[in-house]
Amino acid sequence: MSDASNENADRLGRYLDRLRQRVPKVSPDEARDMLEDGAVLIDIRESWETGEGTVPGALLIERGMLELDIGQHVPEADRTLILMCAGGDRSAISADALAEMGYANVFNLEGGYNAWRTRGLPSSRPSLLDDAARSRYQRHLAIAEIGEAGQKKLLDSRVFITGAGGLGSPAALYLAAAGVGHITLIDDDVVERSNLQRQILHSDHLVGHAKTESAAQRLHALNPDIDIRTITARLTADNADELLSGHDVVLDGSDNFPTRYLLNDACIRLGLPLVYGAVLRFVGQVAVFHPATSGEACYRCLFPEPPLAEDAPNCAEAGVLGVMPGVIGTLQATETLKLLLGIGQPLVSRLLHFDALAGSFRTTRLVPDPDCPACRHLSKPD
């Protein structure tokens, strides 16, 4: 360990020692008796921690939201509060913060939940989902990498989808079905009969209607419990940052280079991951661009300039096999779910190619361009 690391560890240790002397502490047995007399226990651990168990009746307020949310849960400043984390350090800091806010009777559970469980006191697994949600997402709950905490994370997530066309259709359907709780969908086009060969969000009876209107009807019918926000407009340099801000992942379902560059640059400014997809005739490709955290390649590193029109015809000119957007859009949805859940290895700085006629996939490693005008200011890995 470096001298700087040792100094920081010593500084933290001294700070925690002062907190332990300043903040009143209670043992698990004392805490149990206080709870029986009306005290409130607040578990400030992260949701992935409390999924393994907590004290029955505990308020679950994650540390990062404690000061903001405590007032709506416990408005009485004289209420007896017991703060609990895993081992007692984070809850000591939290207890001190609440005392600074004016809560007069705040205690720290010495040893945290680990001590409570070791003592053999009652514990329970909190239910993060209601019965309807547990029924809907039971196949997710059976997956160890997702479970109830992961499903709750999806329900709290926000995804921005550009385009309700060939790629946006399957992506939006599967993200809605998976329980992504907040989906924003932008498109300024109307449904045409020629769309229906591949754009499965839409139906023949809605030809001539806005794609956003058609998409909202279909997605709400699939999962009425999630929030669908539609924007019938074009994404522009003037509105991109405002519209994308506050989302967790941006999914590119566009079909033109200007929009792709616009999304890339906005995502870099906002620090958001961009899930890219493209299709033509019998081939498609998928990638994830997130240079803000990975220091890896962005979309402009892959395509510094738009190719000539004759080298990159659009689907209207060259055609596309109807199932191709389904394959690629579903892969985009898969990458989005991996990013939201923090599982697996997303296709960051890797381009996945699919050739339908050959029935083959191959992956190309993308290298950051040191002269890229969009991401060269970001640190690159050695």
Which residues are within 8 A (CB) of 365 and not within 5 positions of it... i.e. 6 or more apart?
Answer: 349, 350
User: Facing residues of 48 across strands?
Assistant: none
**DSSP-assigned letters across all residues of 289-313:** E-HHHH----HHHH-SSPPPGGGS-
Tokens at residue 329, please? 């859009």
**DSSP-assigned letters across all residues of 251-289:** EE---SHHHHHHHHHHHHHHT--EEEEEEEBTEEEEEEE
Half-sphere exposure of 311 (CA within 13 A, CB side): 6
Cα(276)–Cα(175) distance, integer angstroms = 15
Which residues are within 8 A (CB) of 224 and not within 5 positions of it... i.e. 6 or more apart?
Answer: none
Cα(289)–Cα(291) distance, integer angstroms = 6
Number of H helices, E strands in the chain: 17, 13
Residues in the chain: 382
* CB distance 134 to 157 below 8 Å: no
Neighbour tally for 124: CB within 10 Å: 11
Q: Which residues are annotated as catalytic? A: 315
Cα(335)–Cα(274) distance, integer angstroms = 10
